[in-house]
Structure formats: C-alpha cells, structure tokens
C-alpha cells in the first residue's frame, strides 16, 4: 500500500460521500436488474412454482449501536425471496467507530488512532436452480489513519458449466486490464487463495477476483476500478442467470446444491473477512449473516 500525501479533511469527507453515493446507486441498479429477471421467468421452472409471485426486494434499515462516536452509522438490508432467486441479499452499510484493541492490530493505519469509517456493498445470490450459479460480490472503501478500497467477485457453481467459468473470468480480466497490467493475475490468484476451505482442502467455487488494501496513490483511479468491478458484475452475472434460469433440474441436483451450500456456509462462518469485520465491529448479525443460504445440508 503506497500513499499520496495526506488529503485535507474536507477532501476525505467528500470522498466518503462519493463512495457511499456510488454503492447506493449500484445497489439500486443491481436490485432493479434482479427484479427484472424475476419477472422474466416462464416455462417449467415458473410452472413448478405456480403460486409463487415474482420476487421483490424487502428493505430493512438497521442502526449500529456505539456511544463512542456521534454517528455510528448502520445500513440498509435488501433481501428478496423470489422464484429465480431463492434468496438474494444486497446490503449497503456505512459505519464508523473504534476498533477493539485486538482487532485494530489486524488493520492498517491504526497506529495513531483506533477510529474507522467504512462503507461497502455486499451481495450474495442463492438461486433456486442448481444450474444458475450462486455468486458473491463486495466492494468497499475503508478509512482509518490510512484509506483503501477492497472487494471482489466470485462464482460458486453447483452444476458446472465451463462457458460460465470462462465468461466470468474473461469479463473480470477485461476490467482489470483496463486499470492495471498486473491486476487480473494478482487479484485472481488472491481470490483462489482467499475463497478456499482450508479444512476441506477444496476451493469454495471457481474463483474470480479478490483485492484489499488498494491504495495505488491515486484515489480517483482506485475508486474508478472499484466502480468498474461493480459494473462488470452487474453485466456478467445477470447474463449467466438468464443463460440457465429456464433449464429444469433433478432432485439429485437439488440435493447436491444443498450439500454445496453447506460448504459455502462453512467458508463464511470460519474464514470470511467481511463476516469477521462485521461481527467484530458490532454490525447487525442479520445483515452480516445475510449471506447464509436459505437451506443447506450436511448429509
């Protein structure tokens, strides 16, 4: 992590506001797209859910409880239980406070202050069909004594479709290549390393990209990259959903989906950095654990 000379407070404040405005805009565009997909379901997969209407997002605000700061923040959970999406959550949260002494040791820029500000969007989609891949995307801006962006997107197919893997990685690579020659190689490798169930000795899915502590010295460039990661996901993931949402599935594929969701749950509760950050900073547990699947099995 390199750094520009420290920005005046007014610039830092303006950047926080721009980041939050972007995450909110991206949330609205993602939720709109997912609701359109809900409306588009026809055929056998709609018929087997004859009495289930197309899903719509439900919005639940939450406040963070912390008397150490004037505005501890909170967030807005957007969750939809639909026909194509058995459960999909898109959370935007903006929080500020002070890290616990132990947790501060894991975070850059906490030498002089334990104060933090963080804003981010997290998305987890658990489709009903085992042919439609579950996906995760998160982007965030964090300010301590330092400031950086982080995020990533990864795909967790149940029934493997090789073209999905290829197209998902190609889309991320194209975006990465626009912003930094080595971004794709580094961030795809980081995703492979990060999205890995060590105790099982197996990857969570087919990867994607993961980045953290991104401060190139050019805040505008880093913010632009982070926006593009969100836009890339907004483009590629709905394409993969529409590719498979009409395909019928078998009970055996459904059982395997529930089993794979168990492994997904293991990753999120044992390793996930965002989950850990949320629970360590007094986040709303329902918002932090929104990522967990609607139904999972350990047979």
Q: Which residues are catalytic?
A: 136
Which C-beta is closer to its own copies: that of 75 or that of 230? 75
Kindly list the distances between the CA atom of residue 198 and the CA atoms of 32, 143, 266, 271, 299, in Å, as whole numbers in the listed order. 36, 30, 10, 9, 20
Q: Please choose, out of 54-62, 144-152, 238-246, 264-272, the segment that lies near its own copies by the rule CB under 8 A.
A: 264-272
Which C-beta is closer to its own copies: that of 152 or that of 293? 293
What angle (nearest 5°) sits at the alpha carbon of residue 152, between those of residues 5 and 184? 80
* Number of residues counted as binding its own copies (CB under 8 A): 22
The token pair that represents 207 in the structure block: 């990867």
Longest Cα–Cα distance in the chain: 60
292: contact with its own copies by CB under 8 A: yes
Q: Please choose, out of 1-9, 38-46, 138-146, 285-293, the segment that lies near its own copies by the rule CB under 8 A.
A: 285-293
Kindly list the distances between the CA atom of residue 11 and the CA atoms of 18, 111, 147, in Å, as whole numbers in the listed order. 11, 22, 12
Which C-beta is closer to its own copies: that of 14 or that of 100? 100
CB of 206 to its own copies, least distance (A): 21
Site for its own copies, residues 174 to 193, rule: CB under 8 A: none
Which residues fall within 8 angstroms of residue 279, CB to CB, at 6 or more apart? 285, 288
The answer to whether 136 and 154 are in contact (CB under 8 A) is: yes
Q: What mask of x and - would describe binding to its own copies in positions 192 to 231, judged by CB under 8 A? A: -------xx-------------------------------
DSSP 202: E
Q: Is the dihedral of CA 134, 157, 258, 266 positive or negative?
A: negative
Site for its own copies, residues 85 to 144, rule: CB under 8 A: 87
Task: Give the separation between CA 7 and CA 66, rounded to whole angstroms.
Answer: 27
279: contact with its own copies by CB under 8 A: yes
Which C-beta is closer to its own copies: that of 108 or that of 262? 262
CB of 95 to its own copies, least distance (A): 15
288: contact with its own copies by CB under 8 A: yes
Task: Give the separation between CA 154 and CA 89, rounded to whole angstroms.
Answer: 15
The answer to whether 124 and 136 are in contact (CB under 8 A) is: yes
The token pair that represents 173 in the structure block: 């690579």
289: contact with its own copies by CB under 8 A: yes
Which C-beta is closer to its own copies: that of 23 or that of 194? 194
262: contact with its own copies by CB under 8 A: yes
Give contact residues for its own copies (rule: CB under 8 A).
81, 87, 199-200, 258, 262, 265-266, 269-270, 279, 285, 288-289, 292-299
């Amino acid at each position: 992590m390199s750094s520009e000379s420290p920005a005046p407070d007014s610039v830092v404040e303006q950047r926080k506001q721009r980041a939050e405005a972007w995450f909110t805009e991206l949330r609205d565009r993602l939720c709109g797209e997912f609701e359109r997909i809900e409306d588009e379901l026809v055929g056998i997969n709609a018929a087997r859910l004859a009495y289930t209407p197309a899903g719509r997002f439900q919005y639940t605000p939450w406040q963070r409880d912390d008397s150490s700061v004037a505005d501890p923040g909170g967030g807005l959970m957007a969750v939809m239980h639909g026909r194509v999406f058995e459960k999909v959550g898109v959370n935007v949260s903006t929080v500020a406070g002070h890290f616990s002494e132990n947790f501060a040791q894991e975070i850059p820029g906490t030498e002089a202050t334990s104060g933090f500000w963080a804003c981010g969007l997290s998305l987890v989609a658990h489709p009903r069909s085992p042919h439609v891949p579950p996906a995760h995307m998160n982007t965030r801006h964090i300010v301590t004594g330092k400031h950086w962006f982080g995020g990533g997107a990864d795909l967790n197919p149940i029934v493997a479709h090789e073209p999905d893997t290829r197209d998902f990685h190609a889309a991320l690579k194209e975006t990465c290549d626009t912003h930094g020659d080595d971004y794709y190689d580094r961030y795809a490798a980081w995703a492979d390393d990060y999205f890995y169930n060590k105790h099982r000795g197996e990857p969570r899915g087919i990867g994607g990209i993961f980045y953290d502590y991104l401060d190139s010295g050019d805040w505008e460039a880093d913010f632009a990259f982070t926006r593009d990661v969100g836009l890339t996901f907004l483009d590629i993931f709905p394409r993969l959903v529409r590719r498979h949402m009409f395909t019928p599935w078998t009970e055996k594929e459904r059982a395997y989906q529930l089993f794979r969701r168990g492994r997904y749950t293991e990753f999120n509760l044992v390793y996930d950095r965002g989950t850990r950050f949320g629970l360590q900073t007094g986040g709303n547990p329902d918002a932090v654990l929104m990522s967990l699947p609607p139904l999972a099995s350990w047979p």
